Structure 1
Amino acid sequence: MYKNMRGRPGAVLAAVSLAQFLVALDMSVVNVALPAIRSSLGFTPVGLSWVVHAYALTFGGFLLLGGRAGDLFGRRRLFVAGLVAFGAASLAGGLAQAPWQLVAARAAQGVAAAALAPAALAALTVAFPEGPARVRALGVWSGVNAAGGALGVLAGGLLTGYAGWRWVMLVNLPIVALTLALAAAVPADVRGARRDRLDMPGAVLATGGAGLLVLGVVRTERVGWSSGATLATLGAAAVLLAAFAAVELRSSSPLVRPGLLRSRWVAGANAFVFLAAAGQFAAFYFVSLYMQQVLGMGAAATGAAFLPFSFGTVAGVALATRIGAGRSPRASLVPGGLLATAGFAWFGLVDPAGGFVSDVLGPSLVASVGLGLCLGPVAAAATTGVAPREAGTASGVLNSSRQLGGCVGLAALATLAADRTGAAATPQALSAGYALALQVTAALFLLATAVAITVLPSRRRAVPAAPTDLPAPAGADIETETEGARS
């Protein structure tokens, strides 16, 4: 029975990889188009930032809900619904005639992505059993994910320059159509027991708490960390998240089962991802600014300059696939984390008299290979031993850690860099601020590596972290756990 749920693995991998490419692409594709969007639709400077923040806010806020909904109501159903909603939101954004329409479309994209991303990763973990097959599949998924984020900058520049800014939204439509054509291969739904229900109090508290946390962090760019608005928003987020934790401990059908987070695999992988994303998102931002504001490179050239990073990441993913066969994810995460630390520390040496080869290309190749070594193994670690009926939840938690880490890291390091730069916007002052932020990025990757060494087990134990406090779907649990043990 369980084997039949895996569908056609090759087609499943293609579908979920395309879906992840779509989600990653839209994190960055609009960035280069922002000046053109402002001129076309008449955005104010403050309002323009919400073209980016609206997506981040709803994506980060709804991920836990999206992951759990896939487990309860069927991941294939949620996968298809997320794709359709993403395509509709992209079309609405491409046709927007007023600022509020584009911001609303970006918010809708974020909600759709929050349903799509956990369902995609969960489908992959069910289609491929733990072991070498899953390692190889996660390697492909990770490479496509990295390519989507990096190519978004290049695609945004090319589309804006040659086709108009609306195509940074409309380009999603053919990708959605192709992914929908492959969606039939996604495994048959593994749904919760009949008496399982969606934990609505937990869903409201988690979505509200995560959303307020992202909102409070992204607004620090404009109002600062010590402002009353920031403190009130972050305080409210802390209250809601604390209430969420209390509700989950008492719920008979929790949004996130507390026992899942007690797994060293799940806890260690999510801590690693949070720290690494906090550094990675910030590093992309500051390296881009360094190339444009210090080295004087144009937007299109800056986008193209990220291609070596993409190639290095793919090389790292391929190397991780070879290393990971039959080994614990830690075997790739530790050397990958150390290599990324070295690369971002090299980035931290940028100065106004630097050049592209010495200050961008060299560290890009080192850091990208290290990052590629981490992408697939950390996803494998986060789903190791997780029963299929909780795969969506585990995927939602992992994506939430990545998104929240990226938002918090970027906002915090932007404040740190601005404080070092001061009022003088000279190349020397800007370089000093960027260098400090990139040095902290290296420290974050070093801390993530320490987490991998101290928290993650040195050997994979193929014992599913199956929920013993929840009823299992009839006939599914025995086969599921047997398969997990065999792998």
Structure 2
Amino acid sequence: MPADVISTASGPALRPTRLEGRERAALVVLLTASFTLAVDFSILNVALPKIGRDVGIGTDRLQWIATLYALCAAGFTLLFGRVSDLIGRKRLFLIGMTLLGVSSLCGGLAVDPLMLFAARVAQGTATAMVTPAALSLLTTSFPEGPARDRALGLNGALMAAGFTTGAVLGGVLTDVVSWRWAFFINVAVAASVLSVAPAVLGESRADHRPKLDLPGALTATLGLVGIVYGATAAGQHGWSSPAVWYSFAVAAAALAAFWGLERKTSQPLVSLEVLRRRNVAWGNIAGLVAFATETSLVFPLTLYLQDVLGLSPAAAGLSFGVLGVGTVLGGLLAARFIARTDAKKAIVAGFVVQAATTIPLAFLGNDKSWIVPLLLLTFLGGVANLVAIVGYVVTATSGLPNHQQGLATGLVTMSQQVGIALGTPVLSAIIVSQASDGLLPGIQASILTDGALCLAASGLIAAVLRLPKPGIAAQTLSGTEGGTGS
């Protein structure tokens, strides 16, 4: 029986759920990489003014330090998810970690805007390589069931915690040492991972290697970049800016062309049969909302804590530590919740609780007595968000053979990166639109929108998501599309 059928149809009965030494080491390597890349999304945010002064970047161009990273991380992730299927997940993982180390060194040594911007482009590209490769190595290393759910729970917890950790760590490093250490830390992590990974990671790729669908890759990347850039422009200039709608128009045209190309090519970048599967399509939509809502909530709450309540940047950053703890706890609890119910119920319950803890924050006032309920609600929201995130990753990668896991995890990673990239600009645009009424009403409106989106997502997923029957879907795909896991 092919390996891909064993891993999905036979489930955990064929392998013990307790990890052996090499599996444990591989898990540590992959989780370390995922956590580091999540930190990179936010670690420079607090340091932007200082970076601008040191490197010579004007205030009007500071946002490009974050935007260039997000554009590349989100835009290229689907492409590299498919590349990992073709050249090998371990190989792409090692290439990406090498690029991350080199680009981070260049960023830490940057003396002018061009050098820093180039480093961020390379860092974003490295993220697009490593994240789907690491996730597919996780899903192909563990069979569907408790072992995989626990691994994905830890991965989701560390990725979400990494985003909030980055906000705290960036401020501490900037105040105590230098913002350059936000780059240099990556160099040390990349070197450590590269020294261990070749010995503990096993190669995984499809035996049948189709040609890479370059037209599909180009149109998909252009579409994703257009969406992210349009949302970023809305956050900076408001929804009335022509750049916003030009970007969205380009994105719509590119994605329409992508869909047309994929229907005609014999070896598509994304198998439409996979996209038509409800667990893949709706699972990834749930993931996009989950990442967009919780990571973006940090932005209006940061404005509230500093500009409304008058807390220092360090105090505001440390207050998000409770959110980070909540996400870690949620990742650990998610596997148990899924084992007792199922992944769909995890997504729905996670969104319902996240909405219930977010909507009350829309009534924040000018009194510092709000700090205690804010900390409690963000902690519970972090727990709920990670239950939903792990539920969506399990859902979107289930019922697929190993030779489709690169594609599946590429889609999962794309949902994560696009969600992170879209969330903050959208809430920022809402705050900007309410600027005439003052800062607090805009913050309240953005938080209310965030909670309402969680509530709407819970109802939609409850109504339309269907989980695959264990084993049957994987055997069907394996028989119709060829190729086995290795």
2:482 to 460, 472, 476: 472
Equivalent residues in 2 for 1:379-458 (5 A)? Answer: 379-422=393-436, 429-457=438-466
> Residue type matched to 1:17 in 2?
L
Deviation at 1:125, TM superposition (A): 0.2
Q: TM-score, normalising length from structure 1?
A: 0.91
Looking at structure 2, the residues matched to 331 and 230 of structure 1 have their Cα atoms a distance apart, in angstroms, of 36
- Does the residue aligned with 2:212 lie in a helix, a strand or coil? coil
Could you tell me which runs of 5 or more consecutive residues in structure 1 were left unpaired when the two chains were aligned: 481-487
Q: Which runs of 4+ in 1 moved over 6 A?
A: 3-7
What does residue 188 of structure 1 align with?
Answer: 203
Looking at structure 2, the residues matched to 351 and 171 of structure 1 have their Cα atoms a distance apart, in angstroms, of 38
What does residue 75 of structure 2 align with?
Answer: 61
Looking at structure 1, the residues matched to 435 and 255 of structure 2 have their Cα atoms a distance apart, in angstroms, of 34
Residue by residue over 1:155-192, the C-alpha shift from the partner in whole angstroms, topping out at 9 and shown as x without a partner, is: 10111111111111111112112222332222322225
**CA, structure 1 residues 186+327, in 2 after alignment: closer, same or farther (shift >3 Å)?**
farther
1:179 to 171, 184, 193: 193
What does residue 12 of structure 2 align with?
Answer: none
Looking at structure 2, the residues matched to 37 and 462 of structure 1 have their Cα atoms a distance apart, in angstroms, of 52
Residue by residue over 1:348-401, the C-alpha shift from the partner in whole angstroms, topping out at 9 and shown as x without a partner, is: 121122435345212112211211222222111110112111111111112212
What does residue 10 of structure 2 align with?
Answer: none
Deviation at 1:405, TM superposition (A): 2.9
Equivalent residues in 2 for 1:42-441 (5 A)? Answer: 42-184=56-198, 185-194=200-209, 196-325=210-339, 327-422=341-436, 429-441=438-450
Most deviating of 333-342 and 458-467:
458-467
**CA, structure 1 residues 356+165, in 2 after alignment: closer, same or farther (shift >3 Å)?**
farther
> Residue type matched to 1:300 in 2?
A
1:462 to 463, 471, 484: 471
Most deviating of 121-130 and 367-376:
367-376
> Residue type matched to 1:450 in 2?
G
Looking at structure 2, the residues matched to 292 and 313 of structure 1 have their Cα atoms a distance apart, in angstroms, of 23
1:32 is aligned to 2:41: no
Deviation at 1:461, TM superposition (A): 2.9
Q: TM-score, normalising length from structure 2?
A: 0.92
**CA, structure 1 residues 420+225, in 2 after alignment: closer, same or farther (shift >3 Å)?**
closer
Deviation at 1:53, TM superposition (A): 0.4
1:14 touches 1:182 (CA, 8 Å); kept in 2? no
- Does the residue aligned with 2:251 lie in a helix, a strand or coil? helix
1:63 touches 1:115 (CA, 8 Å); kept in 2? yes
Looking at structure 2, the residues matched to 323 and 455 of structure 1 have their Cα atoms a distance apart, in angstroms, of 21
Looking at structure 2, the residues matched to 47 and 33 of structure 1 have their Cα atoms a distance apart, in angstroms, of 14
Deviation at 1:130, TM superposition (A): 0.1
- Does the residue aligned with 2:472 lie in a helix, a strand or coil? coil
What does residue 484 of structure 1 align with?
Answer: none
> Residue type matched to 1:335 in 2?
A
2:398 touches 2:468 (CA, 8 Å); kept in 1? no
Deviation at 1:139, TM superposition (A): 1.4
- Does the residue aligned with 1:254 lie in a helix, a strand or coil? coil
Looking at structure 1, the residues matched to 227 and 348 of structure 2 have their Cα atoms a distance apart, in angstroms, of 30
> Residue type matched to 1:472 in 2?
G
- Does the residue aligned with 1:170 lie in a helix, a strand or coil? helix
**CA, structure 1 residues 324+145, in 2 after alignment: closer, same or farther (shift >3 Å)?**
same
> Residue type matched to 1:191 in 2?
A
- Does the residue aligned with 1:101 lie in a helix, a strand or coil? helix
- Does the residue aligned with 2:434 lie in a helix, a strand or coil? helix
2:236 touches 2:428 (CA, 8 Å); kept in 1? no
How many residue pairs were aligned? 470
1:282 touches 1:413 (CA, 8 Å); kept in 2? yes
Q: Percent identity?
A: 34
Looking at structure 1, the residues matched to 273 and 342 of structure 2 have their Cα atoms a distance apart, in angstroms, of 22
- Does the residue aligned with 1:296 lie in a helix, a strand or coil? coil
Most deviating of 306-315 and 120-129:
306-315
Could you tell me which runs of 5 or more consecutive residues in structure 2 were left unpaired when the two chains were aligned: 8-14
Residue by residue over 1:447-472, the C-alpha shift from the partner in whole angstroms, topping out at 9 and shown as x without a partner, is: 22123312233675333446469752
Residue by residue over 1:308-348, the C-alpha shift from the partner in whole angstroms, topping out at 9 and shown as x without a partner, is: 11111222222212222264212322222111111111221
Most deviating of 261-270 and 325-334:
325-334
Most deviating of 26-35 and 275-284:
275-284
**CA, structure 1 residues 391+253, in 2 after alignment: closer, same or farther (shift >3 Å)?**
same
Looking at structure 1, the residues matched to 328 and 223 of structure 2 have their Cα atoms a distance apart, in angstroms, of 35
Residue by residue over 1:121-172, the C-alpha shift from the partner in whole angstroms, topping out at 9 and shown as x without a partner, is: 0000000100111111111112211221111111101111111111111111
- Does the residue aligned with 2:76 lie in a helix, a strand or coil? helix
Most deviating of 22-31 and 351-360:
351-360
> Residue type matched to 2:435 in 1?
T
Residue by residue over 1:85-108, the C-alpha shift from the partner in whole angstroms, topping out at 9 and shown as x without a partner, is: 011110000000001211110111
1:271 touches 1:451 (CA, 8 Å); kept in 2? no
**CA, structure 1 residues 293+192, in 2 after alignment: closer, same or farther (shift >3 Å)?**
farther
2:100 touches 2:122 (CA, 8 Å); kept in 1? yes
Most deviating of 378-387 and 116-125:
378-387
What does residue 11 of structure 2 align with?
Answer: none
Deviation at 1:255, TM superposition (A): 0.8
Residue by residue over 1:18-74, the C-alpha shift from the partner in whole angstroms, topping out at 9 and shown as x without a partner, is: 111011000000011111101111211121110110100111110110100001111
1:383 touches 1:391 (CA, 8 Å); kept in 2? yes
2:34 to 3, 17, 20: 20
> Residue type matched to 2:149 in 1?
V
